[in-house]
Structure 1
Amino acid sequence: MNRNTRLVFIVCLTAVFGVIVLQSLWIRNYYQVNKERFDKEVNLAFEDAIKTEFRLRCDTLENLMCQFLMDTTQMTITSKWSEKDSTHVYYVTNKKDPKDSYNFSIKLLNLPIVPQNDSVKQLVARHYARAYREEDFDRHVIYFHTQNLGKYIGARAKEFSFDTLRLRPIYQQLLAERGIRESFVFYMRDEDSTVNRSRFPDSLLSRYSLITKSFPTYKVEKGGNYIRAAFPSHGNFLFGKMIGMIIASAVLLALVVLALLYLLRIIRREKKLSAIKNDFISNISHELKTPIATVAAAVEALEGFDALKDPQRTKRYLHISRTELQRLADMVNKILNIAAYERQEFELKPERVNIDAIIEELTSQYPLPAAKNISFQYNNQAGTSSVMADPLHLHNVISNLIDNAVKYSGPNVAIDINCYIEKQHFIVTVKDDGIGIAAGDLPYIFDKFYRVPSGNIHKVKGHGLGLSYVKHIMEKHGGWCLAESRPGKGSIFKIGLQA
């Protein structure tokens, strides 16, 4: 990794780390805000629940009081005109004790109570019960206006005293309206502080993540005079509020990481392409120089050593020059053809081809290097020798595979060529016992200009275009190609065509 690549890598890591830190701080702050919101909402809901529960009790007592006042076996309601005040005075009297009475006036009503007409009497009873509620119930006291009425209301107030069974559904509903569905328990104490300054035992704090403010219960009987709501956890609420934020943060972070990885991949790829380009230039320069140097030496011999006077020597030098120039022309044409294939400037002309004839021609006419002993073995197990392909390009593909097998083998070369049908594909394999290919290089051998790295030493002549051509032609045919190899164990190249 050179200095520039290392610098880009460090910048990318710093950027990713910075995004992670910012996202973490953002999520942490958002978590804190939602935690404070949860604290506020559960306390507001609890206060409303306490008030609602008390209001329902007062409604019940008010209705019971009104019914008791209308019960003629217990109470009588009468009216008398007051000349002094110019209004009707209403009397609520204990039926069993006429001396046990309470009187009052209603300015907005001021109607007499007449026998056989309970409409005014009902209005008076309703008004009296409402006034008693506002003046006594709402202040958590009970005054005995009459003895029997006071005892009745006292008994009913005790019967309908504060009850957590009544409070729980009210509180659950108010929490649900605020989007809170956490479980909770009620915590009651005989003594507490309504300003929320009480201290709780560690055992309680370890079990509950939040305890609400305290509110008085105003119970008639002693004990449990203050109540709080305790929440074991608030994870569901916070998770529900933060899930969108967490997903958005994760997606954003993933996009940043993927973008940076893609950038690093492009940089690495460009670096690799640059190395391949330099290797290609080095190889092609070496191979171009060889025929040029040979031709130059032949021309120099013709000019400087009186070779023109010797017809045999002249003929030999001209033959050498022609051969090297043809080799040079072949290399240039091959490079130009590869460029044409890459630009899609050619069309296949598929027809029924005799694969046996192509392979027999290649193996029988293959130019044998003087330094190598080459043996071929061919076996067609496909049950047919006919395959649909462009004859010229199929010939060149197999020729390239054989050429590679020869180049990358030792002095004694054994090449096995097999044909068979598998999964509706006509497959041709070329197996050699050469030097093999490392696993790290196998994925790239079909890339254009790629050659197995060997520094600037070119023991095997080539320019990294043969296998790229093979892959390109096979894909144009709708087929495929692959290679299997292990260093020192030889290689197997496979091509597949539609059967």
Structure 2
Amino acid sequence: MNKKLFVLLVALMSLSLTGIIFVQGYWIKSTIDDREEQFSYNAKQALIKVSEEIQNSEFERYYFQFKNPDSINSTLSDRTLTEYFYTNKDENRNETYFNSETILEEDYKVSSGFLQFAEDSIKFTKMINKKVTDIVQENNLEGGNLSARQRIEHIERLSRMEEVEKDILRSAISELVVRIPIHNRVSEEKIRELLEEQLAERNLKTAFEFGIFNNSIATTVHSENFSLDHPATYAVPLFVDSAGRSGYQLLVNLTNRKEAVLSSVILMACLSIIFTLIIVIAYSSALSQLIKQRQISQIKTDFINNMTHEFKTPIATINLALDAIKNPKVIEDRSKVNRYLQMIRDENKRMHAQVENVLRISKLEKNELDLKKERHQLHDIILDAITHVELIIEDRGGYVQTHFGALRSSVLANQDHFTNVIVNILDNAIKYSEEAPKIDIYTTNVKNYIYCEIRDQGVGMTKLVQKKIFEKFYREHTGDIHNVKGHGLGLAYARQIVDDHHGQITVTSEKGKGSTFIIKLPLIS
């Protein structure tokens, strides 16, 4: 795939995924905001209903006192109201009056706690008398020349007289009871009962605290933990008069508002987040695999090119040697024939070694390589590996020195394969040394492990290369310069072998200052 097209596809997919995440987040936030608004609306409606219930309850209590003569707390008996509301018709003006000149004094002989209320009640009943008289005059209930339709309308008006009376009483009572202390008008238990009922009716599952304030001053009617500083505080006026004025306010703290709002959307929000995370993880994994496959494809292409180049040279050498041997002059020269045969043998061995490296890696990955392990001294394995490369090092004017500080070096290992591990690391140290290779090998004991450090003073490597140096087929890119031959298999093979020996291999390096490979193996007693 073209690199530009690949980058474009990745960018578009990433943008789409980001957009999906943004939309999901916006949807969750909008849903929470909507639920909060709905919660606030329902809470305010519940408080309004509570306020109405409190006011209606107070009205009904006093209305019952006026209408029920058997009530112990009654201040105006039914007889009082009957005497009060007797009719008097003015024949000259064709008007009917309701007045109350006959007031039964004994109806007001109550306890001292009600004396002031009784005085106010007399004024109150006179006011009602005037308002009812005005209504009767307006409707002309005694009209003599009424049509059938007008009579029906008058009957309907009469059926509404009780409601009219209640409205008048409501207005008058609200003016009368304003002098009564708030704790005598409503109790904490009543408020709590109404709040619980109204909140439950609207499915608002939240605890609450409440308090009544008079012109922003706290009254004695409040719950134990009420606070003005609570963020979820709602207010509603109490005991509103006919003009819409009120000196009292009921304030309620809904202490679990956040939890109540979140509980209504938590399931959908969690599912949305989980599915979005699954999409993100799947996308990240797919993108990682796609990038990895692209890198592997590039590495394999480089490997094939390198392998072709490595095989091309020995094949050409073998062909030249065979052509030379066919020459009659050469075939008679035994020394030349032996030299050419040795060249053919060496090049063939070289190609065989390259093929073996590839096959070893394949078998190791499939766990098909049977490594027979025996007790060996790691120091002996290191010295054996040095013999394979010391001639090359000497030819380049370098050295390899050992510093065996470990007192114990017995390990369970496969001698041939572990020797190849050390040889591969030494071979890399030689290839990546621009000047004469200088290599030092150290061993130390730490608890039940032996550490082998192979240090060189070569070109070193970057942090990025250090992370990938043990990957199969990986080779550091050096532009168009191919002065170092290889297939990126040596260190991958080394890691596989060390892992199979239950050890660890790591590298530390700095560009331009060389590298240090560290092998950690468990000791055996």
Do Structure 1 and Structure 2 share a fold, with TM-score over 0.5?
Answer: yes
2: CA distance between counterparts of 1:20 and 1:236? 24
Within the candidate set 406, 409, 433, 2:433 is matched to 409
Q: In 2, distance between residues paired with 1:486 and 1:265? A: 28
Shift of 1:357: 1.8
Alignment partner, residue 393 of structure 1:
417
Match of 1:34 in 2: 35
Q: CA deviation at 1:182?
A: 7.8
Counterparts of 1:166 and 1:232 in 2: how far apart (Å)?
Answer: 17
**Are residue 217 (structure 1) and residue 218 (structure 2) matched?**
no
Q: Which amino acid aligns with 1:179?
A: K
Check conservation: 1:182, 1:237, Cα contact below 8 A.
no
Secondary structure in 2 matching 1:418 = strand
Deviation at 1:432, TM superposition (A): 0.9
- 1:303-382 equivalences under 5 Å are 303-304=326-327, 306-366=329-389, 368-369=391-392, 371-382=395-406
Tell me the distance in 2 between the aligned counterparts of 1:73 and 1:228: 29
* Aligned residue type for 2:355: V
Q: Which whole-Å deviations, capped at 9, do the CAs of 1:175-222 have from their partners, x for residues lacking one?
A: 475135688888999xxxxxxxxxxxxxxxxx999988x877355999
- Alignment partners' CA distance in 1, 2:238 and 2:23: 45
Measure how far apart 1:463 and its partner are.
1.4
Q: Which residue number in structure 2 is paired with residue 288 of structure 1? A: 311
Q: Could you say what secondary structure the match of 1:368 adopts?
A: helix
Does the CA-based 8 Å contact 2:311-2:351 persist in structure 1? yes
Check whether the contact 2:433–2:459 (CA below 8 A) recurs between aligned residues: yes
Please list the CA deviations of residues 48-69 of structure 1 after superposition, one character each: whole Å capped at 9, or x if unmatched.
2123323543575588789983
The separation in 2 between residues aligned to 1:341 and 1:391, in whole angstroms, is: 16
- TM-score, scaled to structure 1: 0.71
Partners of 1:343 and 1:245 in 2: CA distance: 45
Q: Is the 8 A contact 1:188 1:228 kept in 2?
A: no
Aligned to 1:467: 491
Find the residue that maps to 1:412 and give its secondary structure: coil
State the shift of 1:16 in Å: 1.5
**Cα 1:137–1:330 shift into 2, 3 Å:** farther
Shift of 1:244: 4.4
Q: 1:350 and 1:22, CA in 2 relative to 1: closer, same or farther beyond 3 A?
A: same
Shift of 1:422: 2.0
CA contact (8 A) 2:68 2:78 kept: no
The letter for the 1-side match of 2:246 is G
- Report the Cα distance in structure 1 between the residues aligned to 2:105 and 2:62, rounded to whole angstroms: 21
Are 1:458 and 2:468 an aligned pair?
no
5+ unaligned residues in a row in structure 1: which ranges? 79-92, 99-133, 145-149, 190-206
Task: Give the Cα–Cα distance (whole angstroms) in 2 for the partners of residues 259 and 277 of structure 1.
Answer: 26
Q: Which amino acid aligns with 1:416?
A: D
Letter of the 2:21 counterpart:
I
Q: 1:156 to 1:290 in 2, by over 3 A?
A: closer
The reply to whether residue 272 of structure 1 matches residue 295 of structure 2 is yes
Matched, 1:301 2:324: yes
Mapped partners of 2:466, 2:386: distance in 1: 26
Partner of 2:169: 141
Q: How many residues align?
A: 425
CA gap 1:449/1:311 in 2 versus in 1, 3 angstroms: same
Q: CA deviation at 1:493?
A: 0.5
AA of the residue aligned to 2:28: I
Q: What whole-Å deviation, never above 9, does each CA across 1:91-127 have from its counterpart, x for those lacking one?
A: xx969379xxxxxxxxxxxxxxxxxxxxxxxxxxxxx
Q: What are the within-5 Å matches in structure 2 for residues 37-436 of structure 1?
A: 37-57=38-58, 61=62, 69=70, 96=106, 139=167, 141=169, 158=180, 169=192, 172-173=195-196, 174-175=198-199, 178-180=204-206, 217-218=239-240, 224=246, 238-304=261-327, 306-366=329-389, 368-369=391-392, 371-436=395-460
Shift of residue 378 of structure 1?
Answer: 1.1
Contact kept, 8 Å, 1:436 with 1:491, in 2: the verdict is: yes
Q: Using the alignment, how far apart are the partners of 2:481 and 2:169 within structure 1? A: 107
Report the AA paired with residue 358 of structure 1: I
The one-letter code of the counterpart of 2:205 is: G
Paired with 2:38 and 2:445, the residues of 1 have a C-alpha distance of 71
1:9-38 deviations in whole A, cap 9, x for unaligned?
122123213313432553355245424422
SS at structure 1 position matched to 2:169: coil
Task: State the distance in 2 between where 1:72 and 1:408 align.
Answer: 110
Question: CA separation of 1:140/1:66 partners in 2, compared to 1, >3 Å: closer, same or farther?
Answer: closer
Counterpart AA for 1:348:
L
* 2:463 partner SS: coil
Q: Which amino acid aligns with 1:461?
A: K
Alpha-carbon shift at residue 243 of structure 1 (Å): 4.5
Q: Please give the alpha-carbon distance, in whole angstroms, between the structure 2 residues aligned to 1:413 and 1:318.
A: 32
Distance 1:402 1:417 in 2: 10
8 Å CA contact 1:157–1:220 kept in 2: the answer is no
* CA distance in structure 1 between the partners assigned to 2:271 and 2:73 by the alignment: 71
Report if the CA contact (8 A) 2:434-2:459 is conserved: yes
